[in-house]
Chains A and B, each alone.
Chain A
């Protein structure tokens, strides 16, 4: 099972928006509405930001939103803040054999 494809980096100024794409196949992203996104600060464990494509766990700011079209999912961070600078990983369910597959990761820089 190949990793989902994400851009290596993305950036924006404080207050701006940044959108990260996550491209898979019809066997993962396109086949299920089980896409999640994780934020990871250096040396820390990942944190769930979005699940089931667009749902936010309690405590996650509504500046974070998710969507999906075909085989590509997206995470948008609106109103960028300094603390949003981190690595972001998408993940998709890929069926009972392959379970879950992660993306290659995107480093978000707040300029």
Chain B
């Protein structure tokens, strides 16, 4: 059974940093592209970032480019999102998602809440 478990969320002040992790099991992690998607409280889903299976190529939404860094450790079956210079508008539940093809998020984690507030 595919499992994705996010961790690392919490309360942080504006300008601060957090690193999210997503532990994967039940599938061959190293062969899949992975994504981060976020959802602000009461709002819709927003794509954040993507990384290829070998970690060689990444992509970011304009709103986080230059502040967030996606990475992965295939030996540890873990996906990461380093978030720097956090803003109030980054407050959201962050989901990691397994991509089974173009625009096909076939499995999702349970999400981890990031709150940015002073």
- B80 an interface residue at 8 Å Cβ cutoff? no
Nearest Cβ on chain B to A62's Cβ, whole angstroms: 18
**B103–A34 touching, CB < 8 Å:** yes
A interface size (C-beta, 8 A): 28
**A93–B110 touching, CB < 8 Å:** no
Residue-wise, chain A 73-111 has the 8 Å CB interface mask toward B (1 for contact) of: 000000000000000010111001101111111000000
Nearest residue in B to A103 (C-beta to C-beta)?
B44
Nearest residue in A to B106 (C-beta to C-beta)?
A48
B58-102 contacts to A, CB under 8 A, are: 59, 61-62, 95, 100-102
Nearest Cβ on chain B to A1's Cβ, whole angstroms: 7
- Complex alpha-carbon distance, A32 and B104, angstroms: 13
- Complex alpha-carbon distance, A48 and B109, angstroms: 12
- B32 an interface residue at 8 Å Cβ cutoff? no
**B103–A45 touching, CB < 8 Å:** no
- Complex alpha-carbon distance, A52 and B107, angstroms: 16
Nearest residue in A to B4 (C-beta to C-beta)?
A45
**B108–A47 touching, CB < 8 Å:** yes
**A52–B101 touching, CB < 8 Å:** yes
Residue-wise, chain B 13-32 has the 8 Å CB interface mask toward A (1 for contact) of: 00000000000000000000
B111 cross-chain contacts in A, Cβ below 8 A:
45
**A34–B59 touching, CB < 8 Å:** no
- Complex alpha-carbon distance, A105 and B39, angstroms: 11
A105 cross-chain contacts in B, Cβ below 8 A:
44-45
**B101–A102 touching, CB < 8 Å:** no
Most buried by A among B59, B104, B109: B104
Instruction: List the interface of chain B (C-beta within 8 A of A).
Output: 35, 37, 44-47, 50, 59, 61-62, 95, 100-111
Instruction: List the interface of chain A (C-beta within 8 A of B).
Output: 1, 3, 32, 34-36, 38, 40, 45-48, 51-52, 57, 89, 91-93, 96-97, 99-105
